[in-house]
Amino acid sequence: MEIERKFLIDEKAFDYTSYPYKDFTQGYLCTDPVVRVRREGNEFFLTYKGGGKMVREEYNLPLNKEAFDHLIKKADGNIINKRRYFIPLDKYTVELDVFKPPFEPLIIAEVEFESVEEANAFEMPSWFKKDVTHDSAYHNSTMSKMKLKPL
């Protein structure tokens, strides 16, 4: 079970660029339910996510590079590229996604929790701007289906 909240950040109030990061590429084979292929640095995964916003099932299965390369070509819609920074915050790790074109300058922070109660009790730090946990427009699966204007 994945329990997480999502936030927009005030990037002028916090310099995240000195923290460790990984580059991600992901594509969606299906968005209801979510079936995604993802490259995280040099690791590859097939992920299933159940319905829900803050709480939902999630299963990750390892893939090899060849399987990822094959499946990413079958993805529907937009391929999402982003750099994820890993930022310690008290007992949590903020996963800060800085999206690359065509979703630039979007930046979303995600924080995972052990329980719904813990998630609901979480107080945003000052550099978090807005809670978008329940806004499906900020789900990567939704972004993959967006109609984009040609450059």
Q: Which tens digits make up the pLDDT trace of 47-79?
A: 999 988 899 999 999 999 999 999 999 999 999
Asked if pLDDT for residue 146 goes beyond 70, the answer is: yes
Output the pLDDT for position 150.
Answer: 52
Number of domains into which the chain is organized: 1
Output the pLDDT for position 65.
Answer: 98
Q: Identify whether 151 is part of a domain.
A: no
User: Of 16, 21, 28, 85, which is the active-site residue?
Assistant: 28
The boundaries of the domain holding residue 12 are 2-145
Asked if pLDDT for residue 147 goes beyond 50, the answer is: yes
Output the pLDDT for position 149.
Answer: 60
Asked if pLDDT for residue 19 goes beyond 50, the answer is: yes
Is the Cβ–Cβ distance between 111 and 92 less than 8 Å?
Answer: yes
Q: Identify whether 80 is part of a domain.
A: yes
H helical segments located in 11-95: 65-72
Output the pLDDT for position 63.
Answer: 98
What's the chain's average pLDDT? 95
| Average pLDDT, integer, range 3-10 | 96
Q: Identify whether 71 is part of a domain.
A: yes
| Average pLDDT, integer, range 95-110 | 96
Asked if pLDDT for residue 81 goes beyond 80, the answer is: yes
Q: Identify whether 138 is part of a domain.
A: yes
Query: Catalytic annotation on 28?
Result: yes
* All residues at 6 or more sequence positions from 23 whose CB lies less than 8 Å from its CB, including other chains: 41, 81, 82, 83, 84
Asked if pLDDT for residue 151 goes beyond 50, the answer is: no
Domain CATH for 20: 2.40.320.10
Q: Identify whether 150 is part of a domain.
A: no
Output the pLDDT for position 114.
Answer: 97
* All residues at 6 or more sequence positions from 5 whose CB lies less than 8 Å from its CB, including other chains: 54, 110, 111, 113, 119, 122, 131, 133
Q: Identify whether 14 is part of a domain.
A: yes
Q: Identify whether 51 is part of a domain.
A: yes
| Average pLDDT, integer, range 29-38 | 96
